[in-house]
Amino acid sequence: MCTCLEQWKNDEEIKIFQEYLRIPTVHPDVDYTACVEFLKRQAGSLNLPVDVVHPVMPSKPVVIMKWLGKNPELNTIILNSHMDVVPVFPEKWTYDPFSAHMDNQGRIYARGAQDMKSVGCQYMAAVRSLKASGYQPKRTVYLTFVPDEETGGDLGMAEFVKGDYFKGMNVGFSLDEGIASEDETYPVFYAERTFWHLRLKFNGKSGHGSLLHKNTAGEKFQYVLEKMMKFRETQVKLLANDSSLSPGDVTTLNLTQLKGGTQSNVVPPLLEAIFDIRIAVTQDADALEKRISDWCNEAGGGIELDTVLKCPAVETKIDATNPYWLGFKRGLDELGLKTQTRVFPGATDSYYVRRVGIPALGFSPINNTPTLLHNHDEYLRADTYLNGIQVYKKLIPTLADS
């Protein structure tokens, strides 16, 4: 009798998953050629028509598989995933990050195992099984595979949703990635925080490093940084003191870049700092922006504020007004899954979909698993992967038939 490990190694869906993981669609300078060919072959095996479009440039393809519904005039569903993965530091990995090695506990190690090639493959596996059972959705279902989510989506979903091809898809709802859960629950993400990259330019008195000049860029920077860090500490305490909160429920603020100075004995006339700020949906973004502006004035002026990136919050209704949410929730309940509705702590392609008025949810069927996206030794257990296929077998019909 075969052991579970032997069964997993011989499972066709596991083999397809491993093949996908072995394609190094890794930043920087991703080459999507092999990935597109792999997805075309998968579309052929599913007997689904496939298109490849290039909203920005030939090197940034979007792959679209179409599963025609019984009522094609209805709004459609998209099952979205991104093809790209973040960089790796191979020396920090137990196994080659693009080998998709399965260890003796059934853990499949690879960059993208959680984020998010697993989800893209699980969509296809669920569709394969549903089609084999004779099921046809009421609504047309699209499987979309987009580039460059990991670098912000500007060359992927951000432009795709603006084009004629997407408009012709008549999309009513999108399902995209979530995050692994380390307990038995499954988080469902209905929104993302307001996202800023804020650049502050501190102008001040320059001169010789041996003198105590007044009104220097460094003094201004110290004043504002101290105010920023004190605000940050309020959010740290808020998260620590309320167990019902997750990182997506508070405002995060981090100094991510600092530039300035030309020589060690010259006081610089300019220092530049960039902060990554993710504003909670409960936080007044305008009030926070005014507070930062006030701190700059208190520091002595001469400080320029520049929002390099400013993405306002958008959210999907998770109530009786949203039939897709009702269908999705019904599927989760019928499976007996414990779920938590959350605000996503980072950013995903769902932002761009919601921004054009289409409801979107983030969900990855991964629980009781360490959260390892973007980390060394990213892995997903084979049994968790296969269970996720069964989850999507339930959720796709409850969405497509809603």
Residues 114, 147: one domain? Answer: yes
Q: How confident is the model at residue 155 (pLDDT cuts 50, 70, 90)?
A: very high
Q: Does 2 score more than 70 pLDDT?
A: no
Residues 98, 225: one domain? Answer: no
Q: In degrees, to the nearest 5, what angle opens at C-alpha 77 toward C-alphas 76 and 80?
A: 140
Q: How confident is the model at residue 338 (pLDDT cuts 50, 70, 90)?
A: very high
Residues 294, 382: one domain? Answer: no
Reduced to 3 states (helix: H, G, I; strand: E, B; else coil), residue 38 is: helix
For residue range 56-106, what is the model confidence (pLDDT) as tens digits? Answer: 999 999 999 999 999 999 999 999 999 999 999 999 999 999 999 999 999
Place of tokens 């009104």: 215
Residues 216, 73: one domain? Answer: no
Residues 188, 305: one domain? Answer: no
| Domain termination site, one of 311, 339, 374 | 311
Report d(CA 372, CA 349) in Å as an integer.
Answer: 19
Residues 224, 259: one domain? Answer: yes
The whole domain housing 54 covers 4-192+313-400
**Cβ neighbours of residue 339 closer than 8 Å, sequence gap 6 or more:** 185, 186, 187, 188, 329, 332
Active site residues: 84, 149
Residues 278, 366: one domain? Answer: no
Average pLDDT over residues 157-183: 97
Q: How confident is the model at residue 312 (pLDDT cuts 50, 70, 90)?
A: confident
Residues 12, 32: one domain? Answer: yes
pLDDT at 240: 96
Q: Which of 402, 395, 393, 397 is nearest to 124 (CA)?
A: 393
Give the CATH number of the domain where residue 292 resides. 3.30.70.360
